[in-house]
């Protein structure tokens, strides 16, 4: 037995593994926002700058998690983030976003990723018994919701309705 299950039922909650997942998710989201900001730069500089700010926020969250984890657990294994399922989004055939439809599709992905991150952080907070981690996950979940709202407002600012399937959870 690997220690992740017991005879009484489901897998045990392992804070070290969850922190590793959370850090991995922050890295992936920062990378997504960085690429998206570059892709959107020729289309809408304001939205590109917004995404640049989200990169900074995600990097700050990663640093907070990393510092706390280092103090509590020492070295961690960083694993892929919580959103593994590949979503069905309209394909963008080129790197740069040049149309409102492509911009809306890309921003819709960002909203969906924030909602996924919010659910993940909320679930972590619900399971977490270490007070510092619980508070951090709760704060991250609230921030994820606020970011999703800001991104939705940016989509509205494009004058477009979200494309079917790009935002729904």
Q: What is the pLDDT of residues 107-152, one digit of tens each?
A: 999 999 999 999 999 999 999 999 999 999 999 999 999 999 999 9
Structural domains counted in the chain: 1
Q: Distances in Å between the alpha carbon of 77 and those of 10, 13, 86, 169?
A: 22, 16, 23, 29
Model confidence at 56: pLDDT above 70: yes
**Structure confidence at residue 73 (pLDDT):** 85
**Structure confidence at residue 46 (pLDDT):** 94
Q: Is residue 44 part of a domain?
A: yes
pTM for this structure? 0.80
* Domain membership of residue 44 as a residue range: 15-78+96-157
Mean pLDDT of 28-37: 96
Q: Is residue 147 part of a domain?
A: yes
Q: Is residue 162 part of a domain?
A: no
Q: Is residue 9 part of a domain?
A: no
pLDDT of 72-100, one tens digit each?
888 776 665 455 444 444 455 568 998 88
Measured in degrees and rounded to the nearest 5, phi and psi for residue 142 equal -65, -40
Residue 149: give its domain's CATH number.
1.20.1260.10
């Amino acid at each position: 037995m690997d220690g992740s299950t017991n005879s009484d039922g489901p897998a045990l909650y392992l804070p070290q593994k969850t922190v590793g997942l959370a850090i991995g998710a922050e890295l992936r989201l920062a990378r997504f926002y960085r690429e998206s900001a570059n892709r959107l730069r020729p289309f809408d500089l304001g939205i590109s700058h917004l995404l640049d700010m989200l990169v900074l926020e995600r990097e700050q969250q990663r640093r907070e998690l990393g510092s706390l984890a280092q103090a509590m657990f020492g070295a961690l294994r960083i694993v892929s983030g919580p959103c593994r399922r590949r979503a069905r989004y309209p394909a963008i055939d080129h790197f740069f976003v040049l149309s409102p439809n492509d911009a809306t599709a890309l921003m819709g992905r960002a909203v969906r990723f924030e909602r996924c991150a919010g659910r993940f952080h909320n679930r972590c907070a619900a399971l977490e018994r270490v007070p510092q981690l619980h508070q951090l996950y709760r704060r991250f979940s609230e921030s994820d919701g606020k970011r999703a709202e800001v991104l939705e407002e940016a989509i509205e600012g494009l004058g477009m309705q979200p494309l079917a399937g790009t935002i729904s959870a």
